Amino acid sequence: MKKIIISAALLLSSTAVFADNCEKYVSEVDSMISEAKTHVTDPAEIKLIDDQISQMKTMINSLPEDQRDAICGQALEQIPMMKQMLEEGIKQMKAQG
């Protein structure tokens, strides 16, 4: 369950870009990932999260500059849904023990 929630958040975050107008988005995604990692105890899962974040950043850096603003706008619209998914996943993990 942990992997599904974190992977979903990472998948949605893969549309982020590192332009000035996207710094808020990147900051919020980093914050959500840090929160998710506090609930993961398996070192292999933590490494998977770190690897996926690294791959996402590599992909972001390869985006053409002329597409970044539009992509960033779409990604920012997904933040509330990503936060809700993360919160629901954490609640489920706590309920499972």
Q: List, for residues 20-59, the tens digit of each pLDDT value.
A: 656 777 788 888 888 888 888 889 988 888 888 778 777 7
9 contacts: CB under 8 Å, gap ≥ 6 = 29, 32, 33, 36, 82, 85, 86
CB 89 within 8 A of CB 38: no
Considering only CA atoms, which of 68, 65, 88 is closest in space to residue 16? Answer: 68
The pLDDT, as a whole number, for residue 14 is: 46
pTM of the model: 0.65
Instruction: For the chain, give every domain's residue range.
Output: 2-60+67-96
| H or E stretch covering 69 | helix 65-96
The pLDDT, as a whole number, for residue 82 is: 87
Q: List, for residues 68-96, the tens digit of each pLDDT value.
A: 777 877 888 888 998 898 888 888 878 88
d(CA 38, CA 93) in angstroms, rounded, equals: 12
